[in-house]
Amino acid sequence: MGEHAGYEAGRREQIATGLERTRARIERACEAAARDPGEVTLVVVTKTFPASDVRLLHELGVRDVGENRHPEAGDKAAACADLDLRWHFVGQLQTNKARVVATYADVVHSVDRARLVTALAKGVPDARMLDCLVQVSLDLPPAAGRGGAMPSDVAAIADAIAADDALRLRGVMAVAPLGVDPDEAFARLRDVSAALRERWPSAGAISAGMSGDLEAAVRLGATHVRVGSAILGTRPAAR
């Protein structure tokens, strides 16, 4: 019991430090880009970490948490159902799991095909709406399959989301490909976002930037950064 309390205290301090550093990085990046830090939401990605860490994050003021897999995501959301949290699903999503993910997620960042739109809509509880971002592949040449729609397919997916009463189109999301200059990748995402907003002016969210490249993302207009390891530490397996 006492030992456990000691562990918890140490973990809390560790997370508090990571959180403080990350918030400071976001503030500095906003300052450098002449942006208001209030425009950037920090989503703390808790995948592989226990629900007790989610509780510590909540105590430290975090309200937006991200997960990338079902059922891990659903289990954690259920374990923390007493907390006022927004659950962001950020991982590649199989069509047969979309319906259940829609029952607990508040935002899905990884909508990258029309079939997913239909499947998600079926799971949204009555009297609720699910926020959706279209995930864009920034691979060059454009490549489907690793998660993310080709930029040329974004408009059709966005239209399908916007046409569904259970879904709300909020914007775009991407992961910078490995080995590519993140500024170059996020600049392309910004262009995709600008084109989307011409058709759907309220879909202004840009989810981009992780522990390693959040400064580039903020510089290029990110409204949501998804940060895991810089706050919670190294994950046991690469995920």
Ligand X SMILES: *Cc1c(COP(=O)(O)O)cnc(C)c1O
Question: How far apart (Å, rounded) are the C-alpha atoms in residues 133 and 171?
Answer: 5
Report which of 53, 67, 158 is spatially closest to residue 104, judged by C-alpha positions: 67
26 binds ligand X (CB under 6 A): no
151 binds ligand X (CB under 6 A): no
Query: Residue 73 Cβ, how far from ligand X at the closest point, in Å?
Result: 11
91 binds ligand X (CB under 6 A): yes
211 binds ligand X (CB under 6 A): yes
Residue in 93, 166, 210, 216 binding ligand X, rule: CB under 6 A: 210
Beta-strand runs (E) in 63-199:
64-67, 86-89, 107-111, 130-135, 167-173
Query: Residue 215 Cβ, how far from ligand X at the closest point, in Å?
Result: 13
**Quick one: which segment of 6-14, 124-132, 176-184, 228-236 binds ligand X (CB under 6 A)?**
228-236
Query: Are 139 and 177 spatial neighbours (Cβ–Cβ below 8 Å)?
Result: yes
Residue in 22, 68, 193, 223 binding ligand X, rule: CB under 6 A: 68
Of the pair 166, 209, the CB lying nearest ligand X is at 209
CB half-sphere exposure, 191, CA atoms < 13 A:
10
Query: Are 44 and 67 spatial neighbours (Cβ–Cβ below 8 Å)?
Result: no
Query: Are 109 and 133 spatial neighbours (Cβ–Cβ below 8 Å)?
Result: yes
Residue in 15, 149, 185, 227 binding ligand X, rule: CB under 6 A: 227
Positions touching ligand X (CB under 6 A) are: 45, 47, 68, 90-91, 175, 210-212, 226-230
